[in-house]
Amino acid sequence: MTMKPPAVSFDTMISRADDAVTTLSPGEVNEHLSREGVLLVDIRDVRELEREGRIPGSKHIPRGMLEFWMHPDSPYFKPYFEDANEVVLHCNRGWRSALAAKALLDIGIDVAHMSGGYSEWVERDLPTEPYVKK
């Protein structure tokens, strides 16, 4: 069986998600982090965090668990979302976080995502720290 090619290109898929959600630059995210109630969520794979480090104060939620940990009706809901006034997602390049933010928006959870992801954060020499496994 041969897989049928997608009807939408990869670039279009990411662009549509980006257009649908609030997108913040790494500089804007860095400014928002000084505000009370802002929660930065890192959706990268744990191996990426171990290899590359993390943004101080960010919460790690694997992409596959995001909706479960954020939806208040889920048995896996994390109570720290109750205190968040603003949630910003990030991944490595901004692709997964755009798609994840769009998926959350589709179920009524309004979040933003960081363009350029962790890679651009590092390129701009913004604060990072090693990931310490808990």
Residue 81 CA, distance from chain mean position: 14
Residue 2's pLDDT is 83
Fill in the amino acid letter for 26: P
Is the pLDDT confidence value at 45 over 80? Answer: yes
40 contacts 90 by C-beta, under 8 angstroms: yes
Is the pLDDT confidence value at 134 over 80? Answer: no
Phi, psi angles (nearest 5°) of residue 79: -60, -20
Closest CA to 66 of 50, 43, 48: 43
Residue 86's pLDDT is 96
Instruction: Give the domain range for residue 55.
Output: 23-123
Residue 5's pLDDT is 81
Residue 102's pLDDT is 97
The model's pTM:
0.93
Q: Say if 10 falls within a structural domain.
A: no
Is the pLDDT confidence value at 72 over 80? Answer: yes
Q: Say if 134 falls within a structural domain.
A: no
Can you name the residues that pair with 60 across neighbouring β-strands?
A: 42
Which CATH number characterizes residue 36's domain? 3.40.250.10
Domains: count for the chain:
1
Residue 133's pLDDT is 82
Closest CA to 40 of 51, 28, 50: 28
Residue 4's pLDDT is 86
Q: Say if 130 falls within a structural domain.
A: no
